[in-house]
Homo-oligomer: A and B are copies of this chain.
Amino acid sequence: MALSRRAIVEAGLGILDAYGLGDLSMRRVADVLGVQAGALYYHVPNKQSLLAALGDEILSEVSDPRPDEPVADWLVEWAATLRKVLLARRDAAELVASSLALGLGAVDPAASGRERLTMEGVEQPEATMAALLHFVLGHVVEEQTRAQMHSLGVLADFDAAGSEASFGWGLGLIVRGVKQTVPTTP
């Protein structure tokens, strides 16, 4: 099988799932593909861009809620879906958070939300979605880190249900705040 950008991304995802972000090195990706590390640089400019590509791959699994949902419900569903997608893959939240912070990555998970808020006449759609996104990423990074530490035996008990409840509460807080600036909704 000839080396390609696609194969590199796929190998990266495999290592991410199996060993985590900390063990995802260019040399390891090359090993999996049976190739020298330097060969990767013919298809990918550097490690950061590979990580951004992995982030895009993960974020592409996020599907938008149905557009006929009321805005508040739409936002809650969007956040829950994003959380689920991130939790599904090892260290995905950390990977996506840093990729987005660096402005790399072609997929903008908040884009459809901004559109929806604009349609709805909500003020500051950009700042609103940024706040929501920061909350989701921060929460899931912590959630995922704690879950992993628990599975490694470092952390004694991890309350998954409590963590989800906490997510729901924070989400409700923000969405309640948004609701007060929606012109049409009661």
Contacts and interface: CB of A to CB of B under 8 A. Distances in A.
Query: How many copies of this chain does one complex carry?
Result: 2
B102 A134 contact: no
Contacts of A165: 127
A126 interface: yes
A174 interface: yes
A103 B174 contact: no
A43 to B, nearest CB: 23
A155 B175 CA distance: 32
Interface stretch (A27-35, A57-65, A136-144): A136-144
A15 to B, nearest CB: 21
**Chain A, interface size: which category?**
35 or more
A17 to B, nearest CB: 20
B180 A149 contact: no
A3 to B, nearest CB: 29
A43 B69 CA distance: 57
Nearest to A144: B101
B131 A101 contact: no
A166 interface: yes
Contact of A174 (B139, B146, B177): B177
A139 B173 CA distance: 17
B169 A124 contact: yes
A172 interface: yes
A130 B170 contact: yes
9 contacts: A100-B142, A103-B145, A124-B169, A126-B166, A127-B165, A127-B169, A130-B166, A134-B139, A176-B180
